[in-house]
Structure 1
Amino acid sequence: MSQRQVLQVFEQYQRARTQFVQTVAELATRPQNIETLQNAGVMSLLRPLLLDVVPTIQQTSALALGRLANYNDDLAEAVVKGDILPQLVYSLAEQNRFYKKAAAFVLRAVAKHSPQLAQSIVDSGAVDTLVICLEDFDPGVKEAAAWALGYIARHNAELSQAVVDAGAVPLLVLCIQEPEIALKRIAASALSDLSKHSPELAQTVVDAGAIAHLAQMILNPDAKLKRQVLSALSQIAKHSVDLAEMVVEAEIFPVVLTCLKDPDEYVKKNASTLIREIARHTPELSQLIVNAGGVAAVIDCIGNCNGNVRLPGIMLLGYVAAHSENLAMAVIISKGVPQLAICLSEEEEDHIKAAAAWSLGQIGRHTPEHSRAVAVANVLPKLLSLYMDTDSSEDLQVKAKKALKNILQKCTHLPALEPLLHDAPANILKHVVGQFSKVLPHDSKARRLFVTSGGLKKIQEIVADTGSPLQEYINTINNCFPEEIVRYYSPGYSQSLLERVDHYQPVI
């Protein structure tokens, strides 16, 4: 065999390897092929090709492994059990930028599925190498490394701490300052994942100077970047008053309110979430949001979207209102109650209706004026219906009941209460009747209306235990009217009148 023929054998072998990894990488993009590839033992065939002498074969085999591992946790587990991670970590430090991006993709694909698989990445020593990649000259390598680190960190505080301990945070903060939009997005996302688990981790991100740089990007025209920036600021602000104040001090108001009108639904949702996380801490922070026009802007936002996009805004109104009478009145003046009433009726998901019920309860619980503002929006019958509906989730039933009680304890607007006399179960009825017993002794117009509307008749039909608070309330109400009027509306009175007619002897 000539030298040329020998070389041809090696060329054929190289072409065959190249074709194999390229075909597998292509097949792995389609879900219907995954099981067949898995059954054919594709992992063990790709593993040696990670160390192939030809760089393109190395890179393409890593890409194929990443696509497979990304598909499900079984395949990700196969990467770990196949002893592939040490090869990836070794090559990540030694190879060219194309291979580094492919290897980081595999690590990300494995880490995303579970804390256990992410821990395998940490145990392999990959985190230190990924952090080194954050300093690479190539933006694509930095992006791939940041993405993998974020996927490791997102699972829990321990994994996040491993990423922090490897020195990732200052480098991620540098990455959000790079000109490439894609790198900014992924770095901001990783900082969000690192911040979310504990105040200590969030403080680490703050200490690296992240807030000022994130705040500057709120008005960036790129919607995907804005989503990540708002998310990262939310994850920092949620932990404590101090952290929330640091976010506010970066002068995010009123700038962040423009995001509530963004055409991107996730930008709206994340902006509402950020404002909610700040408002929930103290009355002072809520007042700052009110003063900046934040409550009115959130109410407008709720009116222009649906479903889960509405949820953080709905909860924000409840958090603001819960702090004080004045803040609850600010929500009322900004027409928050009618918008919450719409959410309570329109939304199909129980958890969104539960949030609307909770917020209405927080608004209405302060004074008769607050409860009236809620009651006249006709939400009491709806809350009662949701509480009594057996198809409502347990959380919705609890929230609706609590909101009803909060509002009823202060409500003196009798026209809104009267429908509840006819439908409410005993545990709610007690609160309704109690409010009538407070108002009727002092209001002659209300007493007249109570008779003509059928309220007094309904009161006589209620069966209450002798000596119970409900019976005491009924006695107080009955004492507001002449005895013959009460008797007239009592059950059986018309029958007794007819019997008197039957037994009456006419005087001729």
Structure 2
Amino acid sequence: MSQRHVLQVFEQYQKARTSSCQTVAELANRPQNVETLQNAGVMSLLRPLLLDVVPTIQQTAALALGRLANFNDDLAEAVVKGDILPQLVYSLAEQNRFYKKAAAFVLRAVAKHSPHHAQAVVDCGALDTLVICLEDFDPGVKESAAWALGYIARHNAELSQAVVDAGAVPLLVLCIQEPEIALKRIAASTLSDISKHSSELAQTVVDAGSIAHLAQMILNPDEKLKRQVLSALSQIAKHSVDLAEMVVEAEIFPIVLTCLKDTDEYVKKNTATLIREIAKHTPELAQLIVNAGGIAAVIDCIGSCKGNIRLPGIMMLGYVAAHTENLAMAVIVSKGVPQLAICLADEPEHHIKAASAWALGQIGRHTPDHARAVALANVLPRLLSLYMDAESSEDLQVKAKKALKNILQKCTHLPALEPLLHDAPPNILKHVVGQFSKVLPHDSKARRLFVTSGGLKKIQEISAEPGSLLQEYINTINNCYPEEIVRYYSPGFSQTLLERVDQYQPVI
């Protein structure tokens, strides 16, 4: 056999391997093919190709493995059990940039599914190699490595700490300063994933000088980058007063408020989340947001969107109002109550209704003026209805009941309370009647209105245990009126009058 013929055989073999590998990679990109590939034993066929002498075949085999592992956790487990990860990690340090990107993709695809799979990636020594890739000359390699590290760190504090211990954080902070937008996005996202688990991990990210660089990118025109930057800042700020103050000290206010008007809904949501995480800590931080115009901006934002995008803004108003009377009044003055009432009535999701109920309760619990502002938005009957509705989630029932009690304990605006006399169950009715018993003895105008509106009649129809607090309240109310008026509105009095008519003998 001639040398030329031998070379042709090897050339054909190489072409066949290349073609086969490329076909598998293309097939793996379509979900409908994955099960067939799995049943055909594709993992055992691809593994040797990672060691192929031809770099293109190595890269294509890694790409195919990454696509398969990305599809579901069974295939990711097959990569782990097939002893493929150590080979990838070994080659990651040695090969060209194309292979590095493909190998990092496989590691990310395996790590994303669960803490168990992410731990398998860590156990095979991937972290040190991925961190080295963060220093690579090629931005695409840096991006792939940052992505893999983020997928490892997002699962729990232990895995996140492993990423930190490998020295990733300072290099990720350098990555957010690179000119490539895609690299900035992924690096910011990974810093967010590291920061979210604990104040210690967030502090590590802060100590690397991240806040100033993140803050400078708040107004970057790239929407996806803004999402990640705002997320990272909120994950840092949420843990403690000190960390929240460090974020504020980067002079993000009032600049960040412009993001609440962004066309991208996730930018809006992440901005409201950041403001919420700062506002929740102390009255001073909440006041700073109020002074910057943050309350009105958040209320406008809630009004401009629907569903879960509204949720952090709703909760932010609740946190601000919870701190002090003055801060709750700032929410009222900015017309936050009508907007929350709309969310309570219109949102189909129970967890959003529950958050709206909670926020209204935080606003109304301070003084009669606060409670009146909430009651005038006609939310009390709605809260009662949600509390009593068997279709409401348990959390919604609890939040609606608590909000009702918070508002009722301070509400002296009797016209808003009267509708509750007709429908409230005994545990709520007690609070309603209690408020009437406080106000009526000292307000003659209110006493007259209470009679003409039918309130006094309704009070007489309430069945209360003798000696109970509810009966005491009813007695107090009845003592505000002449005995004959109370008798007139008591059940059965009209029948008594008719009987007296029957028995009366006219004087002729």
Tell whether the structures are fold-level matches, with TM greater than 0.5. yes
Q: Please give the residue correspondences for 1:223-262 in structure 2 after superposition, counting only pairs within 5 Å.
A: 223-262=223-262
> Which residue number corresponds to residue 372 of structure 1?
372
> Which residue number corresponds to residue 485 of structure 1?
485
> Which residue number corresponds to residue 384 of structure 1?
384
RMSD (CA atoms) = 0.4
Amino acid at match of 1:235: Q
CA distance in 1, matches of 2:412, 2:439: 6
> Which residue number corresponds to residue 186 of structure 2?
186
SS at match of 2:481: coil
> Which residue number corresponds to residue 412 of structure 1?
412
Q: Please give the residue correspondences for 1:30-429 in structure 2 after superposition, counting only pairs within 5 Å.
A: 30-429=30-429
CA distance in 2, matches of 1:444, 1:14: 100
Instruction: Return the offset for 1:507.
Output: 1.8
Instruction: Return the offset for 1:151.
Output: 0.3
CA distance in 2, matches of 1:367, 1:188: 44
Amino acid at match of 2:130: L
Amino acid at match of 2:107: L
CA distance in 1, matches of 2:288, 2:417: 35
Give the alignment's TM-score, normalised by structure 2: 1.00
Amino acid at match of 2:232: A
CA distance in 2, matches of 1:160, 1:108: 14
SS at match of 1:267: helix
CA distance in 2, matches of 1:479, 1:485: 11
Instruction: Return the offset for 1:317.
Output: 0.2
> Which residue number corresponds to residue 440 of structure 1?
440
SS at match of 1:366: coil
CA distance in 1, matches of 2:164, 2:141: 19
| 1:30-49 C-alpha deviation (Å, 9 max, x unpaired) | 11101000000000000000
Amino acid at match of 2:111: A
CA distance in 1, matches of 2:84, 2:295: 53
CA distance in 2, matches of 1:473, 1:29: 72
SS at match of 1:179: coil
Amino acid at match of 1:233: L
Instruction: Return the offset for 1:9.
Output: 1.1
CA distance in 2, matches of 1:5, 1:422: 98
Instruction: Return the offset for 1:117.
Output: 0.3
Instruction: Return the offset for 1:3.
Output: 1.5
Amino acid at match of 1:46: L
CA distance in 1, matches of 2:248, 2:262: 21
Amino acid at match of 1:231: S
CA distance in 2, matches of 1:168, 1:394: 43
Instruction: Return the offset for 1:173.
Output: 0.1
Does structure 1 residue 497 correspond to structure 2 residue 497? yes
CA distance in 1, matches of 2:389, 2:15: 68
CA distance in 1, matches of 2:503, 2:109: 92
CA distance in 2, matches of 1:4, 1:489: 115
CA distance in 2, matches of 1:335, 1:404: 20
CA distance in 2, matches of 1:233, 1:48: 44
Amino acid at match of 2:369: E
| 1:227-253 C-alpha deviation (Å, 9 max, x unpaired) | 000000000000000000000000000
Instruction: Return the offset for 1:6.
Output: 1.2
SS at match of 2:263: coil
Amino acid at match of 1:121: V
SS at match of 2:418: helix
Instruction: Return the offset for 1:125.
Output: 0.2
| 1:288-324 C-alpha deviation (Å, 9 max, x unpaired) | 0000000110000000000000000000000000000
CA distance in 2, matches of 1:502, 1:91: 107
CA distance in 1, matches of 2:418, 2:27: 67
SS at match of 1:505: coil
Instruction: Return the offset for 1:2.
Output: 1.7
Instruction: Return the offset for 1:193.
Output: 0.2
CA distance in 2, matches of 1:395, 1:279: 23
CA distance in 2, matches of 1:497, 1:4: 124
Instruction: Return the offset for 1:503.
Output: 1.4
Instruction: Return the offset for 1:5.
Output: 1.4
Instruction: Return the offset for 1:12.
Output: 1.1
| 1:427-486 C-alpha deviation (Å, 9 max, x unpaired) | 000000000000011111111111111100000000000110000000000011111110
CA distance in 1, matches of 2:499, 2:42: 94
Amino acid at match of 1:273: T
CA distance in 2, matches of 1:492, 1:17: 97
Instruction: Return the offset for 1:384.
Output: 0.3
Identity of aligned residues (%): 89
Amino acid at match of 2:33: N
Does structure 1 residue 462 correspond to structure 2 residue 462? yes
CA distance in 1, matches of 2:24, 2:501: 98
SS at match of 2:463: coil
Instruction: Return the offset for 1:502.
Output: 1.3
Greater than 3 Å deviation, 4+ residue runs: none
SS at match of 2:470: helix
CA distance in 2, matches of 1:102, 1:70: 12
CA distance in 2, matches of 1:406, 1:386: 16
Amino acid at match of 1:414: L
CA distance in 1, matches of 2:166, 2:450: 72
Instruction: Return the offset for 1:374.
Output: 0.2
| 1:112-147 C-alpha deviation (Å, 9 max, x unpaired) | 000000000000000000000000000000000000
Instruction: Return the offset for 1:152.
Output: 0.1
Instruction: Return the offset for 1:498.
Output: 0.8
Instruction: Return the offset for 1:504.
Output: 1.5
Unmatched tracts of structure 2, length 5 or more: none
CA distance in 1, matches of 2:21, 2:295: 56
Does structure 1 residue 29 correspond to structure 2 residue 29? yes
SS at match of 1:230: helix
CA distance in 1, matches of 2:123, 2:94: 19
CA distance in 2, matches of 1:97, 1:368: 68
CA distance in 2, matches of 1:484, 1:15: 107
Give the alignment's TM-score, normalised by structure 1: 1.00
Amino acid at match of 1:433: V
